[in-house]
Chain A
Amino acid sequence: MVESLSGTMKRKARRSLVAMAVAATLMGGCATGDTGAAEVWDPIETPNRFLFSLNRVVDIIALRPVAVIYRDWVPEPAQKSVRNLLDNLGEPVTAINEVVQGEPGRAATTMARFLVNSTIGVAGLFDVATSLGLERTKEDAGKTIGLYAGAEPENGGFYLMLPVIGPSNARDGTGLMMDYLVDPFRILTFNLAIDWTAYQAARYGMNVIDYRSRTIFALDDLEKNSVDYYAALRSAYTQNRADLIRQKREKTDTKGELERRDNLALVR
Chain B
Amino acid sequence: MLLLAIRRVAIRLVAGAAVLFFVLPASAADPSKLIETVAAEVINIVKTKTGADRQAAIRQVMQANFDLPFMTRSALGKHWNQATEAQRARFLTALETAEARAYSERFGQYDGQTLSLGKVTARPNGITVVDSKLNQATGQPIKLEWEVRDNGQGPRITDVKVEGVSLIMTRRSDFNSYIQNNGGSVEPLIQELEARASR
Asked if A and B bind, the verdict is yes
Point out residues on A near B: beta carbons under 8 Å.
Answer: 37, 39-40, 76, 221-222, 224-228, 230-232, 234-236, 239-240, 242-244, 246, 258, 261-262, 265-266, 268
Task: Confirm or deny: B176 has a beta carbon within 8 angstroms of a beta carbon on chain A.
Answer: yes
Closest chain B residue to A239, Cβ basis: B165
Q: CA separation between A225 and B121, bound complex, in Å?
A: 29
The answer to whether A76 and B174 have CB atoms under 8 Å apart is no
The answer to whether B165 and A227 have CB atoms under 8 Å apart is no
Partner of B189, one of A221, A222, A227, A234: A227
The answer to whether B175 and A262 have CB atoms under 8 Å apart is no
The answer to whether B138 and A76 have CB atoms under 8 Å apart is yes
Question: Are A235 and B125 CB-contacts (below 8 A) given A225-B102, A227-B178?
Answer: no
Inside 8 A of A244's CB, which chain B residues have their CB? 164
Closest chain B residue to A246, Cβ basis: B164
The answer to whether B173 and A39 have CB atoms under 8 Å apart is yes
Inside 8 A of A227's CB, which chain B residues have their CB? 174-175, 178, 189, 192-193
The answer to whether B164 and A231 have CB atoms under 8 Å apart is no
Inside 8 A of A262's CB, which chain B residues have their CB? 123-125, 127
The answer to whether A265 and B164 have CB atoms under 8 Å apart is no
User: How distant is B121 from chain A, measured CB to nearest CB, in Å?
Assistant: 7
The answer to whether B177 and A230 have CB atoms under 8 Å apart is yes
Partner of B174, one of A226, A242, A268: A226
User: How distant is A137 from chain B, measured CB to nearest CB, in Å?
Assistant: 13
Those of B51-105 within 8 Å (CB) of chain A: 73-74, 77, 98, 102, 105
Inside 8 A of A243's CB, which chain B residues have their CB? 161, 163-165
Task: Confirm or deny: B170 has a beta carbon within 8 angstroms of a beta carbon on chain A.
Answer: yes
Task: Confirm or deny: B181 has a beta carbon within 8 angstroms of a beta carbon on chain A.
Answer: yes
Inside 8 A of A242's CB, which chain B residues have their CB? 164
Annotate B168-185 by CB proximity to A: 1 below 8 A, 0 otherwise.
Answer: 111111111110010000
The answer to whether A258 and B174 have CB atoms under 8 Å apart is no
The answer to whether B106 and A240 have CB atoms under 8 Å apart is no
The answer to whether B165 and A240 have CB atoms under 8 Å apart is yes
Partner of B106, one of A76, A221, A239: A221
Partner of B169, one of A222, A224, A235, A266: A235
Inside 8 A of B170's CB, which chain A residues have their CB? 222, 226, 232, 235-236, 239
The answer to whether A224 and B102 have CB atoms under 8 Å apart is yes
The answer to whether B164 and A234 have CB atoms under 8 Å apart is no
Annotate B100-128 by CB proximity to A: 1 below 8 A, 0 otherwise.
Answer: 00100110000000000000010111010
User: How distant is B164 from chain A, measured CB to nearest CB, in Å?
Assistant: 2
Inside 8 A of A236's CB, which chain B residues have their CB? 165, 170
User: How distant is A240 from chain B, measured CB to nearest CB, in Å?
Assistant: 5
The answer to whether A265 and B127 have CB atoms under 8 Å apart is yes
Question: Are A239 and B164 CB-contacts (below 8 A) given A231-B177, A262-B123?
Answer: yes
The answer to whether A235 and B121 have CB atoms under 8 Å apart is no
User: Can you report 6 A-B residue pairs in the complex whose CB atoms are below 8 A from each other?
Assistant: A231-B176, A235-B169, A235-B170, A239-B169, A243-B164, A261-B123
Inside 8 A of B176's CB, which chain A residues have their CB? 39, 231
The answer to whether B102 and A231 have CB atoms under 8 Å apart is no
User: How distant is A68 from chain B, measured CB to nearest CB, in Å?
Assistant: 15
Q: CA separation between A258 and B138, bound complex, in Å?
A: 32
